[in-house]
Structure 1
């Protein structure tokens, strides 16, 4: 059992890859914003990479364990402590009955941390996933973030000793900063009928600041006065960013009026604005660590071949080849 003493800013149960296959019903997949850190946390404690674990946004989680477990914390540094003593990041450690685990608030760069426990968190499956979709109020633990007094079940697990001391190699650990390079491909609406060549050149060369009004639905970027290749959206609307409603890809960049918005884990499944670029699988995790109101990003255009190679590289990194023992 995992007893929540303080839920923090927002702490949710997620799984990977989330609730796949329901975009036609208006449901985005949910799941972790940073799939790299999430999957590594599970790998460290001996769980399947997609097993339910906690996503802690900004910090403030305090909880008590009621049995012995192997635990790993990955992602942003929230100065974790176990019974008041500093706990490691990217490394498995043991907890026992009545142990108190606390994640303070983000220190330095990054925004989200992930907490995995051996056996995994035991919440009901809904539409093929245990991921929390707070917008719809379903999945995870009662369809919401954790709060004081919640008691979350954990599945049975063996003795933690076999997992303790497993850690991610230093050269595999992501370096969080305040400026990020995020790989993306053009499209689906990047052709000159919508945006000028100068617009697209600006998009891939300009450092974009992350707007403070960002969350698990969308990461907003600063507004920009685009040139646009047309005066209006025609029958779709008066603004040139308007198009007839169409399906949105996950991790696509939606240009709503003059503001680019990266549609992320809990985003809308369709709408009436153009999407001029889409993040690749290997770079999407970076968005989960962007600090609203502070960080900047630059989009790097890549080809399909480059995206495929980067996908293979990150999958190799999220494997036993990257794990060592202390």
Structure 2
């Protein structure tokens, strides 16, 4: 268990979000910076989708009541354990009674992620539509649908007993005051005058203070519509750039409305969504158009970084044989890892990091 001594700014419980409910008007929510979120979990031996604490600018002060592993990723907001500075993007061993605090933002990003081995819960944490994520406008998910407050207690799940720490991300991202955000044109490019996309990509846009988890609002040269800014309401994707009647673009984020009736000139590529989460008010954005192939390549590069962490984990692989779950071990008696495998029918090649093993069994959860 951890005690929230000081809650920080908008510290909420978030996971990967709730999918499959947008047709009912329920936003995805979830961690805004999905890359930092996933890294934080892998660094403590958790599955990628384990709930974490997301904070904005000023992190919480928390006391740990048991030994555990933690990791802090995303924005650098000056993490300290018992008053001593600690590193981001690596596994940290925490002793019972230790206090984690933050000195404040350093200018490198705005959102920080705190993961704990086993994941964070509260007694009031409920799985709502498949997710623990907090959706503040709707007042559900997380801890009673609200941000954490001073004096709250957060329960910690059971971590992997075989996890020994020692992980770090070799090339962590740096969040700049001037970011290049890559986009794909559309889906309603034809609703704008011909020069609108050139206006968008040849000028810098500034993030305004009224940006939030719903959308990143920008100031800059206006984007002119052919006639009306309105379209028949359709689905809103994460990262889509809608332009209302005033011509000022809004990039929609995790807590966005599920549908919208303003024309959308472009969409931020998946690999650059995490950059959006870390933009501080006053930061500048330059937009660059790329094609779909380039967008896919950039996403694959990002996934390789995550895989480099995942491949360092030793997750015991188990198989189900006629209803009985058994451990899978290599020829040397060591447990096999489930971090890298390829299933072909009922045949599977499993790597333990040094050699491949061919098995003919069906993997279980």
Q: CA deviation at 1:268?
A: 0.9
After TM superposition, the runs of 4+ consecutive aligned structure 1 residues lying more than 4 A away are 158-161, 321-325
- Structure 1, unaligned runs of 5 or more: 231-239
2:251 to 262, 281, 301: 262
Cα deviation 1:67-119 (Å, max 9, x = unaligned): 11101001111111111111111111111222111023211221011100101
- 1:183 Cα offset (Å): 1.1
2:216 aligns with: 219
Q: Which residue of structure 2 aligns with residue 9 of structure 1?
A: 9
State the number of aligned residues. 309
Match of 1:201 in 2: 198
1:291 to 249, 270, 280: 280
In the alignment, the residues of structure 2 paired with residue 126 and residue 19 of structure 1 have an alpha-carbon distance, to the nearest angstrom, of 8
CA spacing shift, 1:227–1:261, aligned 2, 3 Å: closer
Q: Counterparts of 1:36 and 1:279 in 2: how far apart (Å)?
A: 15
Counterpart of 1:141 in structure 2 is 143
Q: SS at 2:113's partner residue?
A: strand
1:182 aligns with 2:171: no
What corresponds to 1:237 in structure 2? none
Alignment-derived partner of residue 74 in structure 1: 73
Q: Aligned runs of 1:19-168 on 2, under 5 Å? A: 19-122=18-121, 123-158=125-160, 162-163=164-165, 165-168=166-169
Contact 1:168–1:322 under 8 Å retained in 2? no
How far residue 158 of structure 1 moved from its aligned partner, in angstroms, is 4.9
Q: CA deviation at 1:229?
A: 1.8
For the structure 1 residues 75 and 245, does the alpha-carbon distance in structure 2 shift closer, same or farther, using more than 3 Å as the test? same
1: CA distance, partners of 2:116 / 2:82: 17
> Which runs of 5 or more structure 2 residues have no equivalent in the other structure?
314-365
* RMSD across aligned positions (CA): 1.8
CA distance in 1, matches of 2:312, 2:180: 28
1:250 Cα shift?
1.9
Higher-Rg member (1/2): 2
Query: Is contact 2:223-2:243 (8 Å) kept?
Result: no
3-state SS in 2 of match to 1:277: strand
Q: Partners of 2:311 and 2:216 in 1: how far apart?
A: 32
1:46 to 1:36, Cα distance in 2 relative to 1, 3 A: same
Shift, 1:323, TM fit: 8.0
Q: Is the CA contact (8 Å cut-off) linking 1:195 and 1:227 kept in structure 2?
A: yes
Q: What is the alpha-carbon distance in structure 1 between the residues aligned to residue 86 and residue 270 of structure 2?
A: 31
Q: 1:310: Cα distance to partner? A: 1.3
CA contact (8 A) 1:68 1:159 kept: no
Distance 1:209 1:133 in 2: 26
Q: 1:275 aligns with which of 264, 282, 304?
A: 264
CA distance in 2, matches of 1:11, 1:227: 38
> Post-superposition shift, 1:321?
5.1
Aligned residue number for residue 360 of structure 2: none
The CA deviation string for residues 6-55 of structure 1, in whole angstroms up to 9 with x for no partner, is 11111111111x10111111111111111111111111100011111111
Q: Please report how far the alpha carbon of residue 212 of structure 1 lies from its aligned counterpart in structure 2 after TM superposition.
A: 1.0
CA distance in 2, matches of 1:251, 1:135: 19
Cα gap change, 1:321/1:116 in structure 2, threshold over 3 Å: closer, same or farther?
closer
Matched position secondary structure for 2:183: strand
Q: Does the aligned pair in 2 maintain the 1:207–1:297 contact within 8 Å?
A: yes
Residues 201-250 of structure 1: CA distance to partner in whole angstroms, max 9, x if unpaired?
111221111011100011100153334322xxxxxxxxx21223222122
